[in-house]
Amino acid sequence: MIFVDRSDAGRQLASKLSAYAGPDTRVLALPRGGVPVAYEVAIALNAPLDVFIVRKLGVPGQEELAMGAIASGDVRVLNQETIAALGIEDELIDAVIERERSELERRQNAYRDDLPAHDVAGKDVIVVDDGIATGASMYAGVLALRQREPRTIAIAVPVAPPETRAVLAREVDAFVCIATPEPFRGVGAWYADFKQIDDEGVRALLKAAFHREADAQR
């Protein structure tokens, strides 16, 4: 399974989410890569779109290896097995957390550009990303999201490894995924175009979604 790009993946994912269409549905994207995917889902479901920011805590010197994640709501998830195996000290963990918290706050301010956050209390929330590898960021996001008291939480992604899907599916009301290949080889391996999404790209899609919602309410 290869997706042309994130928009193509979003349209394919939306076709599997038609049952979730309704006035109480809210779509939350994990930026940056999840935003173009979630935008297509929100359009198809005629649902409001917002971002939900999660930052992976990379092992110093091996940043692609996650030792945990933080998310909006001051949630912290640590992979104690990785930390113990590499002998990572608490002071180093705290330094990484502080750096990533600063970036989380910066993105929160940059992406919304004064647009209001959507209230998800009592709503049916779909959390969307462009794919899942370890699942640390998504897991942290789900923990943080529960603090905002949605009615239900569903994860929706184009691609994820089978073992990660199995673990995360136990944490939510539904897990919708197009492909669970094995070997996995990383999220980008399943996209023909997996170019980086910048802050301006996120802002533009959020603004477009906000104006679409405003027009629909007129």
Report the distance separating Cα 122 and Cα 29, nearest Å: 18
d(CA 123, CA 136): 24
168-174, long-range: CB within 8 Å, 24+ apart, which pairs?
A: 168/132, 168/135, 168/138, 168/139, 168/142, 171/139, 171/142, 172/127, 172/142
Say how far apart CA 70 and CA 64 lie, in whole Å.
Answer: 15
Reported pTM: 0.85
Q: Which two tokens stand for residue 13?
A: 């994912």
**pLDDT value of position 134:** 86
- Does domain 6-51+113-213 fall under CATH 3.40.50.2020? My reply is yes
Is 141:54 a contact under the CB 8 Å cutoff?
A: yes
How far is 141 from 154, CA to CA, in rounded Å? 12
C-alpha dihedral over 175, 206, 141, 42, to 10 degrees?
-20
Domain-wise residue ranges, the chain: 6-51+113-213, 56-110
Pairing of strands 62-71, 75-78: antiparallel
DSSP string, 90-150: HHHHHHHHHHHHHHHHHHHHHHHTTPPPPP-TTSEEEEE-S--SS-HHHHHHHHHHHTT--
Q: Tens of pLDDT along the chain (218 residues)?
A: 689 999 999 999 999 999 999 999 999 999 999 999 999 999 999 999 999 988 889 899 988 788 888 887 677 888 899 999 999 999 999 999 999 999 998 888 888 777 777 889 999 999 999 999 988 888 888 988 888 899 999 999 999 999 999 999 999 999 999 999 999 999 999 999 999 999 999 999 999 998 888 777 76
What's residue 218's pLDDT? 66
Q: What is the pLDDT of residue 73?
A: 65
pLDDT of residue 1: 67
* Domain 56-110: assigned CATH number: 3.30.1310
